Structure 1
C-alpha cells in the first residue's frame, strides 16, 4: 500500500473498549471531501456498522481541520462512472457524497463528531450528520456554498442545520456564509460543548465510553427515535413509536430490573441485550 493510497486517508483506531475512532487523514488538504477520502470513509462506516464489538464511534480529522468540504484542486476518482455523460457523471458523484451523509445517520452506533478545526461546506454537513458534536475552542464552521457562487444547500445542510439551531439562525448562516466560532457554536446549539484542543478527543472518548456502557438496544432505539422525531409530522404518531420502543425493551430485556437492583446495591449496572 503506497503512502498516497486512498485507504490511508481514513484511519480506524480503538482507543477504549467498544469505542472506535475514525480519523480523516489528509491533513495537507485539510481533510477535504475528495472522493479518494469519501469512498474509503463510506467503506469504513459500513464495516463499523456491522461490527458488534463497537458501541460508539468518534469521527475527527487529522491536523488543523475537521473537513474543509469540496476539494477544488484534487477531487479524486469517482468509482463506476466509465462511459457516462457529464450530467450523469455529476449525478453519480453527488450520490457518492450523499451516501456518506446517510450512512452516518443510519449507523447503529451513535457517532460523535470531534470537530478539531475548520468544518466548511460539506465538512459542516459531515458534522451535522453525526449525532453529537463537540468542538475544540479553535474550531469554526462555515456554510460555504454561497461564497463560491453556488447554493449553500448541499448534502442535507438545509434540512439538518435548521433542526440543529433553528430556522432564523440557519437562514442567516447559509445566506451570509460567515464563520461561526466554537464559542458561538456552543451558544446556539450547533455543538454540545467547546473544549480545549488538548482535551477534545478525551472528552469525546469519555462520552463514547459512557454511551457504550448502556444497553445496546436502548441506545440504538434512542438514536432511531431521536432522528425519526426530526422527520415526524405528527406528535401523536411519534409518541406511539416511542412507546412501542419502550415496551419492547421493558418486556424483552431484564435491563430495567438490573438498573433498579444496581441502584439499590450502589453498583454499576451490567446491562444485557436479552432476558
Structure 2
C-alpha cells in the first residue's frame, strides 16, 4: 500500500530548498527543469482528503518559487487520475455534525450568544463510493437581543481551490496527465491546467455533482464555457452530470493530445510537452502564459495588452534571456537560458 507520508526522489541541482512534505503524493524530477506530481492513493482512486488541499497548494507555491523549475506535470497512481475527495471523510463529517445537533447546540442549536455551529457541505463528487468532496465550514452566530444574528463561514479549502489547483493563478504551467477517472474535483483541477494529455482508453471526465444534489464550486463552472467552446456544451456537462471520454473532450477543445497505451505512456507524453516548454525561455513562457490568462479571464484585449507590456513584459525586456534568445538566433545556435528571476 502506498505510504501516506508522501515521497520525494533525489533533488536536482539548483533548487533553493526541498519541496514541502505532501502526504499521499510522490514528487519527482524526471526531466531537467520539470516537476512531476503524482497523487498516490490508488486504493481510493486518488480521492483527495481535506488536509491535502492545503498541502498541495504549498507544493504549487513552492514550485512557482523555484527558479530551476519551469514546468510541472500532475497525474495519478493506479487506474485513476483523481475521483474527487474522500467519501469516508464526508461520511465522518456528516456523523459528527449529526452528533452535535440537539438542544445542547451543534447543528440545530446555537441560541446563546457566541455559540459555534459546525456544518458540513458537500461540494464535489466522484463516482460510486469514491470521490465526494466535502467542505467543512464553521459558523459563529452571535445572537442579538431581538433573536437576529450574523453568521460567517470559513471555507476549509485554500485560495487555490481543490488540490490547491482548481482556482490557482500561479506563475508557471501545469500539465495534466489524465491516466484514468477524472471526476468532480479532479475534473475541476484539470479545467484549470495549462495543457491536458489523456488516455484514449482509460480517461473519463465529468462533473456528476448534480446527481447527488451538490454543486462544483471550486472553479469548474466559470471555466467550463471558455474551456469547451460554448455555453451549451458547458451547460450539458454541468447539468446532465454524465461522463465523457477523451475523444469528446479532444473534440471540444479541452484535451491537447490523446495517447494510446497505459498510464505510463500518458505521463511520458505529458513529460514530452513539459520538456519542450522547459526548453524555451523561462521568462517568455511565464509572460506568455500571463497574457493568455488575462484574455481567458475576460479582460479587454487592449487593456490586457497594456497590462502585459507595462507589467510582466517590462520586467524581461532587455534582460539576459531576451538578449540570449536574439543572439542565439543570429549566431544560428541553440540558446542557453538562465533560470527566470521573475
Instruction: Please give the range of the TM-score, normalised by the shorter of the 2 chains.
Output: 0.7 to 0.9
1:35 counterpart = 2:84: no
Match of 1:179 in 2: 243
Would the alpha carbon gap of residues 76 and 26 (structure 1) be closer, same or farther in structure 2, given more than 3 Å must change?
A: farther
CA-CA distance at 1:43 after TM superposition: 2.5
Which position in structure 2 is the counterpart of 1:26?
Answer: 41
Residue equivalent to 2:118: 86
Q: CA deviation at 1:237?
A: 0.6
Name the SS of the counterpart of 1:86 in structure 2. Answer: strand
CA distance in 2, matches of 1:50, 1:76: 37
1:51 aligns with 2:81: no
What's the CA shift for 1:264? 4.2
> Could you tell me how far apart the structure 2 residues matched to 1:211 and 1:224 are?
15
Aligned residues: 268
SS of the residue aligned with 1:214? coil
How is 1:257-272 mapped onto 2 (pairs within 5 angstroms)?
257-272=323-338
The answer to whether the 8 A contact 1:45-1:104 is kept is no
Q: Radius of gyration: which is bigger? A: 2
Residue 10 of structure 1: how far off its partner (Å): 1.2
TM-aligned CA deviation for residue 182 of structure 1: 0.7
More helix by percentage: 1
The CA deviation string for residues 18-52 of structure 1, in whole angstroms up to 9 with x for no partner, is 10101111011111121143232223222222222
Question: d(CA) in 1 for partners of 2:295 and 2:37?
Answer: 27
2:174 is the alignment partner of 1:111:
yes
Structure 2 residue runs of 5 or longer lacking an equivalent are 7-21, 94-114, 120-136, 140-152
Is this contact kept in 1: 2:175–2:270, CA < 8 A? yes
Q: CA contact under 8 A between 2:73 and 2:175: conserved in structure 1?
A: yes
**What TM-score do you get using the length of structure 2 for normalisation?**
0.70
How does the TM-score come out when normalised to structure 1? 0.86
Please give the per-residue CA displacement for 1:144-191, whole angstroms capped at 9, x wherever unaligned: 11111223x320111111110122111111111111101111111111
Deviation per residue, 1:207-239 (Å, 9 max, x gap): 111111222221111121211211234222112
Partner SS state of residue 73, structure 1: helix
Q: Could you say if the C-alpha distance between residues 242 and 77 of structure 1 is closer, same or farther in structure 2, counting changes exceeding 3 Å?
A: farther
CA-CA distance at 1:122 after TM superposition: 0.7
Residue of structure 2 aligned with 1:121, choices 184, 188, 195:
184
CA contact 2:33–2:278 (8 Å) conserved in 1: yes
Residue 74 to residue 217, structure 1, CA distance change in 2 (3 Å)? same
Compare the two structures and name the one with the higher strand fraction: 2
Alignment root-mean-square deviation, CA:
2.8
Give yes or no for contact 1:101–1:125 (8 Å, CA) kept in 2: no
Partner of 2:175: helix, strand, or coil? strand
Structure 1: 5+ residue runs without aligned partners?
Answer: none
Deviates more, 1:157-166 or 1:68-77: 68-77
1:224: which partner in 2? 290
Worse overlay, 8-17 or 192-201: 192-201
Matched residues in 2 for 1:101 and 1:128: separation? 13
